[in-house]
Each structure stands twice: as C-alpha cells, then as structure tokens.
Structure 1
Amino acid sequence: MPPTFLSTFHLILSTLSTLPTLQNLNQEVFSLPGYGPQGRIMLIHGANEGLMGYIKLSYPGKTSCFGCIGDLFPPPRVSAVDLLVYTPRTPEHCVEWVAVLEWDRAVPFGGPGTVRIDVHNPQHVQWCLEKAQERAKMFHIPTERLDAHLVQLVIGKHPPAFQAGYAFNAGLFSNETFKFVTECSSNLNDMDFFNSGEIYKINTVPNEYCAVCKGK
C-alpha cells in the first residue's frame, strides 16, 4: 500500500484485532503529511470479545494516539475461538464447543440449520453431554461437574455474544462517524469501554514520551 493512499481519506475506521498491527497502522497514519493539528484525518478504532470491548478516537492535537496508551492493553492471550477449538480448559469450554461448533458439524437431528439445540429436549441434552464428555477426556479435563444440568446451564444461558458485541460496537462506530462527518455534535473524548451493555468513558491524555506522536 503506497504511503499516500491513507492521505486520501478524512476518516479511517479500524477493527484490527492485534495490538502490533494497530500500532503499525497508528504509526503509518501519524507519519502522513496532513496528519497534524491542522489536519482533518481522524482514526477510530474499535474491538470486542463477546460483550466486552472498546472504541477509541485518535485526533492529532486533541487526543492521545494508540502509541500513548499501549500500557492499557493486556498481554496477548488465546482468542475465544482458539480456546474452544484448540485449548479448552474447563467442562464449560467443552459444552460450548459442542453448542457452537460440533452441533452444526454433526447435525445429529436433521439437516444443517434445521434443528436448534433445545435444552428442554432430553435427547438433545444427552447428545451434547456425551460429546462434551468425549471432548473433556481428550484434553484430560476432569468431568465430575460435567452433567446434564451443566449442559442445560451453559447452553441455555449462552447468548450470541459475538454477534451482539459486533452489533454494539458497530452502533458506536456509526454514532461517532456520523458526528464527525456532519459535525452535528462533539465526538466522544476520547475512549469508551463497554461490558455487557455498561459503558465506561475514559479521557486519555497524550504522552510526551510516546515515540509516535511525542504528546503533540
């Protein structure tokens, strides 16, 4: 991608999932000639895992950049999908694997997408229990707690967290984008964290020791 490509935009939206990639984009954007206090390029980034996530605005001369707040991000860890597929650690992970992945792959009671798991159907619960027990034994996970009640509890309360989180984050993106483009209202200042519908506003400040923006 040529360096001048990003300079053709007034607004950049990012949903990059890894911190090094985000910081690389942050550095690329801040190196643009027009990206200064007089420039009109804003970088909005958001990410979520299930119903937890954040959105941040980076505007030169007014807010911190992503290089300034690197310490706010936790160390990298296994993603939710990798946790279910490759490294389950608890009986609940095994049950979720059955509900999220194995049910649609095995289609035990009909064609794909035709039968959803019914936690009140003893046959469905028993099938999920057996598959979860097999999964647990494969990864040497204790199965003392793995019974029909746990299957009903995990699957019955398993919300479409990723879809809901994406929708929630998309709403925040749309709101801030609309305000920036139309100037109908002030944008947030400058970071929102959300967790299960609760939003926490954070006002970060530029870091004079930041290698990217140097606090300007």
Structure 2
Amino acid sequence: METENLDERYRDLDNLFLRDSKFAPELFAPNDALKTILFDAAKVLVIGAGGLGCEILKDLALSGFRDITVIDMDTIDVTNLNRQFLFRKKDVGKHKSEVAAAFIEERCSGVKVTAHTNMIQDFDADFYREFHVIIAGLDNIEARRWLNALLHSMVEFDDDGKPDIATVKPLIDGGTEGFRGQARLIMPHMSGCFECTLSSLPKQNSYPMCTIAETPRLPEHCIQHAYVIQWPEHFKDKKVDKDSPDDMNWIFERAKERAESYNIEGVTYFLTMGVVKNIIPAIASTNALVSAACVNEALKVATFCNKSVDNYFMFMGQTSVYTSTFPFEKDENCLVCASQRESQTVAGSKLLKEFRDELQEKFTLSNPGLTAESTNKTLYISGPLGKKTKQNLELSMAQLVESGFLDKQDIIQVTDKAIPTVMKVYVKIE
C-alpha cells in the first residue's frame, strides 16, 4: 500500500526517471530503480530553516526526498511569520528547525525530518559524511565559508592527484537579497568554491562615526547612534540582545527621538531591526524561486536524471526578470581549493605584521595564526600563547629567515576561526 501511495504521490517523477532525454548525462539510463534510490537511500542535509530554508524543506519533501536533516539554532520571532510559512503565531519562541521538521512530517506522511539546534561547527566531519548532498540556505558569510572549507578538507585524492568522487560532498548554496537571488552547485575541488567568489559579495553597509555623532542625514544614522553610542552609555555592561523586542524597542524609541530633533523622517521599528541586525528585506517570491533552483539541483545530483547546472545560477528581479547561468571559475590562489599555487614573492624587508595584515584583508580573516611548514615553528598565534610570538610581528621576513623561523621558499600555514582547516600560502622571500 505504501509503495502504491508513493507511486501516486510522486508520479510526475516518472517523466524524469522513465524517459530518455538529450539533457541527461551519458551515464543516465531510464530506470524505475531511481525512485527507490531517492525514497530509501538519498540523505540530504539542509542548513538553515529561515525564509529560504522553509521553502527548501517543503520542496524536498514534495520532490521525493524522504530522509532529511535540518540544522538551525535560531528561534522563531513574530516578524518571521510573513514569509516563513511553516511557522504560526503559537510557535514564536520555539526553535525553527524543530517546528519546521514537525510541520513537514505532519503534512507529508513517510518523510522523516531530523532537527538539530546546534551550531554547524558543533558537528564533525563524520556527521557531514553521512549525507549525499548538502543545501545551505544561510545568510551568514562566516558560516558559509566554514562549511565550504570543511567539505573541501574531507576530499581524498588518488595517486594521480584527482579527487576521489566518493569523498566529494556536493554543496548547493542558495542566497537571496531582496529581489535578487542565486543558487550555485559547488563540487569540492572540482569547481569554483565559495571562497573563490568571496570578493564578489557586496560589502555590508557602514556609516562614518562622525556623521552618526554630529550630522545625521538619514534614518539609518539615527538608529546607529542609538545602537552604537546611546546604548553603551545607558547599559555599560549589557550587550544588545538583537532577538529581544524590549532591547530593539529601546533602540527604536531613542532613534525616533533623535530623528525628530533633526527633522529626519523614516525611522520605523522594522528599519531599526534591519540596521541593527543587518537585515536585507526578504521577498517571499524570491525565496520560492531560489529554493526551487536549489532542490532541482539536489534532485539531479541524487539521481543523475539531468545535467547539473554549471555552476552558478543568478536571478535578478529588481526592475524586470532576468536570469543567467555561468561557470564561476576557480581562483588559482584560493586558500581553500587551489591545488597548485604559484609562490608569491615577498620582500625581505616586509614585516611579518604587514604580511599578516595583507593576508587578513585579502582573504577576509579575523585573527589569523601563522606557522612555517618547513621548520614547524609558530610565527604568530593569538590567545595565551600570543605573548611568546608577538615580538615576531615586528621582525622582517628576512630576519625570520636568518633566525631559522622560515626558509627562503616556504609554505606558511594559516589558521583562523573563519576556516575549519589549515590553509597554505606559498611564499618566496627576496
């Protein structure tokens, strides 16, 4: 009976699985067993259960995926309800992943959704190896970088230096920004990765402190003043809880008062949340479109019923409807996926501090530690051990070579909280 119900529920899949197609890859052969693989074997991990994640979970369940895991540590706020349709008013305050999982299981019988409320960094590589495909619906760049780097670190290589396909975990990364969105398929060490495209991401809005403090002209300036200046003055030892309506309302009221004194209009509670939490307005239709693109790729990766996207799909809907698909090329100097890097020439007179600052800016790192691979000596590390290596920052690269810390041609291993593995920078000291 269950098999009959599944066949009826997912009968549209027969159009993909039982018919030959010129769009399918060469290894595809029409086969009814593909449904069995999809129903009983495919395991998919969804990271994020917000506006994009809710749509992804729904699309997966309706597309035949029956073993789904979702990770999201956030709780539901009343402001989520206008677009995150798996949640109701009674769910406010509960974990998104748990409510979303229960909703999907109730509406789609036979679909199992396992929910986790941890950070993604709490899970080790063995956990991620369980899944056939991973879909990220994250709005956090740091988390996306971490996930991308981890999946690349899990890849093993054969004697010819080629990735072992059995160890490659496809990552489908979706993102939306107002009326714009993108879906990309990242095959670790086989395509360009998230780190390769980091420079293409828009910069977050920032406002000069002098303008915020002295000459506000925009409602955002007033909100930032209340958040950055007034809050610390009134609550010296308390950080703003961005999920607290009381804290957000306090900032909103102070911002509104300042705006009125400067005859500035436009300060609202929702704009206050957007500025403080760096929220970009979410459009439900964009979420729906991008999630469909993500799940479409997941279905193709799991069953080979069609050729996968190569490898970046972009949707632009601000003034009209425009889409484009193109291959995002690998960056040959990418910290994460570059297999062969040319040694960068570093002047011997350059201080280690200057070299580290350049790495920090170029690769968007927070507080990188540096170790010379040839000597296995720590050049710099933060934290309690930082006192022992802090003096190295004032040494030139030539002095580090003379003192035996570095070789003239060396590999500097880089560690940072933004990346879960050791990255390598090839240097030639002149």
Same fold (TM over 0.5): yes
Q: Specify whether residues 207 and 137 from structure 1 end up closer, same or farther in structure 2 by C-alpha distance, changes over 3 A only.
A: closer
Read off the aligned partner of 1:203 and give its amino acid letter.
P
Query: What is the DSSP-based 3-state SS (H/G/I as helix, E as strand, rest coil) of the residue aligned with 1:4?
Result: helix
TM alignment of 1:135-214, pairs within 5 A = 137-138=259-260, 140=262, 142=264, 162-196=283-317, 197-214=321-338
Q: Specify whether residues 202 and 163 from structure 1 end up closer, same or farther in structure 2 by C-alpha distance, changes over 3 A only.
A: same
Read off the aligned partner of 2:295 and give its amino acid letter.
S
Q: Which has the higher contact order (CA 8 A, sep 6+)?
A: 1
Counterpart of 1:67 (choices 195, 217, 230) is: 195
Read off the aligned partner of 1:69 and give its amino acid letter.
T
In the alignment, which residue of structure 1 is the partner of 2:274?
none
Deviation at 1:48, TM superposition (A): 0.3
Q: Specify whether residues 88 and 56 from structure 1 end up closer, same or farther in structure 2 by C-alpha distance, changes over 3 A only.
A: farther
Read off the aligned partner of 2:129 and give its amino acid letter.
S
Query: What is the DSSP-based 3-state SS (H/G/I as helix, E as strand, rest coil) of the residue aligned with 1:17?
Result: coil
Deviation at 1:5, TM superposition (A): 0.7
Q: Which has the larger radius of gyration?
A: 2
- Say whether the 8 Å CA contact 1:50–1:161 is kept in structure 2: yes
In the alignment, which residue of structure 2 is the partner of 1:50?
178
Read off the aligned partner of 1:4 and give its amino acid letter.
D
Query: What is the DSSP-based 3-state SS (H/G/I as helix, E as strand, rest coil) of the residue aligned with 1:194?
Result: strand
- Say whether the 8 Å CA contact 1:64–1:206 is kept in structure 2: yes
- Say whether the 8 Å CA contact 2:189–2:337 is kept in structure 1: no
Aligned length: 152
Q: Specify whether residues 142 and 212 from structure 1 end up closer, same or farther in structure 2 by C-alpha distance, changes over 3 A only.
A: same
Deviation at 1:89, TM superposition (A): 3.7
CA distance in 2, matches of 1:89, 1:181: 49
Q: Specify whether residues 41 and 55 from structure 1 end up closer, same or farther in structure 2 by C-alpha distance, changes over 3 A only.
A: same
In the alignment, which residue of structure 1 is the partner of 2:150?
28
RMSD: 3.1
Read off the aligned partner of 1:17 and give its amino acid letter.
D
Stretches of structure 1 lacking an aligned partner (at least 5 in a row): 79-86, 91-133, 147-159
In the TM superposition, what whole-angstrom CA distance separates every residue of 1:139-160 from its partner, at most 9, and x where no partner exists?
84545xx9xxxxxxxxxxxxx9
Q: Specify whether residues 190 and 135 from structure 1 end up closer, same or farther in structure 2 by C-alpha distance, changes over 3 A only.
A: farther
In the alignment, which residue of structure 2 is the partner of 1:38?
165
Query: What is the DSSP-based 3-state SS (H/G/I as helix, E as strand, rest coil) of the residue aligned with 1:68?
Result: helix
Query: What is the DSSP-based 3-state SS (H/G/I as helix, E as strand, rest coil) of the residue aligned with 2:191?
Result: coil
Deviation at 1:202, TM superposition (A): 2.3
- Say whether the 8 Å CA contact 1:50–1:164 is kept in structure 2: no
- Say whether the 8 Å CA contact 2:179–2:316 is kept in structure 1: yes
In the TM superposition, what whole-angstrom CA distance separates every residue of 1:94-127 from its partner, at most 9, and x where no partner exists?
xxxxxxxxxxxxxxxxxxxxxxxxxxxxxxxxxx
TM-score by length of 2: 0.32
